[in-house]
Amino acid sequence: MSLISKISRIFRKTDDVKEKPEETKTKKNYIDIREYINKFVKQHEKDIGESLAVHDGKLIVKNRDGFIAVPLHAVAVNSENILVGDFDMEEAIRIGKEWSDIKDTLKFDENGMMIKEEAKQ
């Protein structure tokens, strides 16, 4: 873990309330998104881009050609760089383009007021 990562962990918000054992069982599939964003992503020693977000179980990666959506199950190592294994690149490009198209869309009601959409959990 890099020095910057260690220092930034100090300043992250943490809950002062201890979790109950039954709560930890339900959070076993929980991932900390902050551990996945703003890192370089490599596949077979080749740089494929920089991670920007996690959306619907996919790691959104920006490269010079656009966006790709790498499945989280393809992530092999998450340290200073994220190393990914094999995945369907054509599907990743397609889903990345879909994410790019919807990320900045605004919705309005019949009166012209902007509607705030609830984030998917």
What CATH number is given to the structural domain containing 74? 3.10.20.840
Residue 14: strand, helix, or coil: coil
Look at 80 and 22; give whichever has higher pLDDT: 80
Is 83 part of a structural domain of the chain? yes
Residues 56, 96: Cα–Cα separation, whole Å: 11
15 within some domain: no
Is residue 40 a part of any domain in this protein? yes
pLDDT at 43: 93
* Model confidence at 119: pLDDT above 70: no
Mean per-residue pLDDT, 32-44: 90
Q: Two tokens at 68?
A: 């790709």
Q: Enter the tokens of residue 62.
A: 């920006």
96: enclosing H helix or E strand = helix 89-102
Number of domains in the chain: 1
Residue 120 lies in a domain: no
Is 86 within a domain? yes
Q: What was the pLDDT predicted at 31?
A: 76
Residue 105 lies in a domain: yes
Domain limits at 48?
32-115
pTM for the predicted model, two decimal places: 0.64
Q: In terms of pLDDT, which residue wins out, 34 or 47?
A: 47
Of the two residues 104 and 63, the one the predictor is more confident about is 63
For residue 64, being part of any structural domain is answered with yes
In the predicted model, what is the mean pLDDT of residues 81-100? 93
Residue 14: what pLDDT? 53
Torsion of CA 117, 118, 120, 121, to 10 degrees: 170
Does 59 map to a domain? yes
